[in-house]
Chains A and B, each alone.
Chain A
Amino acid sequence: MRVAEIAEKLGLKVYSGMNGLNREVTGGYVSDLLSDVMGNADAGEIWITLQTHKNVMAIASLKDLAAIILVSDNTPEQDTAIQSNGEEIPILGTSLATFEISGKLYELLK
């Protein structure tokens, strides 16, 4: 499934990285610890987090993640969004908390 389809089905906002909406999604990873994501996430996954600073994009790019979903109405910091556009890795957003959005994404991808 592509990022765009997931965004549409889960009613996610698209904050940045529109050019990456065609990326193929292979799974999801949920964590707010950056080393956990660095060590354990896989390429092509969507990362669900509440972290909004620029290092999130560094990790998404280094790990070749498909997209990021910010939970609980968090929005990306400006330099985070700029890097998301540059890397073409979308940052999406939801008003749902981590538990709810993770469940919905899991249902969609399983």
Chain B
Amino acid sequence: MSHDSHTMHFEYNVEGGNFTRAGYASSEIKKILKQLNVDMGIIKRTVVACYEAEVNVVAHAFSGTIYVDVSTESITIRLVDEGPGIPDIDLAMQEGYSTASSKVREMGFGAGMGLPNIKKNADKLEISSEVNKGTTLEITMFFN
């Protein structure tokens, strides 16, 4: 963690395929936001968006890093992964569309609700992706 008068920065590694650790980073981020006395409604939406994005990295990518920046105005969560990428982002954003494996689906993931959940809960969502390279998601939550 680094810290100056305006922003705080945190980073977390996410391991592709390791479902036993899925949600760890989201849980840590939730704790930090609670300590900072962020509005409970914003925390709840942040947690949903962040968890879904973290699970997507676990379910689809080889590895990823989550960069969190908290300023006086907003929370920005950037998830940068190395993985297969998303060939058609509009299609991936559709509710019910999923490329998750059957193993992942049996666990109750991969219902095609993840990205729509993120979009519903984030104040701002930006996705960029390169096939066979990776995907970057930027989720922003504004305090006002």
Contact = CB atoms under 8 A, between A and B. Distances in A.
Contact of A62 (B23, B113, B121): B23
Q: Which of A32, A39, A53, A61 has the most CB of B within 10 A?
A: A39
B93 to A, nearest CB: 14
Contacts of B26: 58, 62
Contact of A34 (B24, B30, B107, B121): B107
B42 to A, nearest CB: 14
A62 B111 CA distance: 19
A38 B27 contact: no
Interface in B47-66: 47-48, 51-52, 55
Contacts of B27: 58, 61-62
Nearest to A33: B111
B19 interface: yes
Interface in A68-84: 79
Contact of A38 (B19, B20, B52): B52
A61 B136 CA distance: 26
Contacts, number: 58
Nearest to B22: A55
A14 to B, nearest CB: 23
A59 B44 CA distance: 12
B71 interface: no
- Binding site of B, secondary structure by majority: helix, strand, loop or mixed? helix
B108 A51 contact: yes
Contacts of A5: none
Interface in B107-141: 107-109, 111, 113-114, 117, 120-121
Contacts of A34: 55, 107-109
Contact of B108 (A32, A39, A61, A79): A32
Given A35-B113, A36-B113, A51-B107, 20 more contacts: A34-B107, A34-B108, A35-B111, A38-B48, A38-B52, A38-B117, A39-B121, A53-B107, A54-B20, A55-B55, A55-B108, A58-B22, A58-B23, A58-B24, A61-B23, A61-B27, A62-B23, A62-B47, A63-B47, A79-B20
Interface of A: 32-36, 38-39, 43, 49, 51, 53-55, 58-59, 61-63, 79
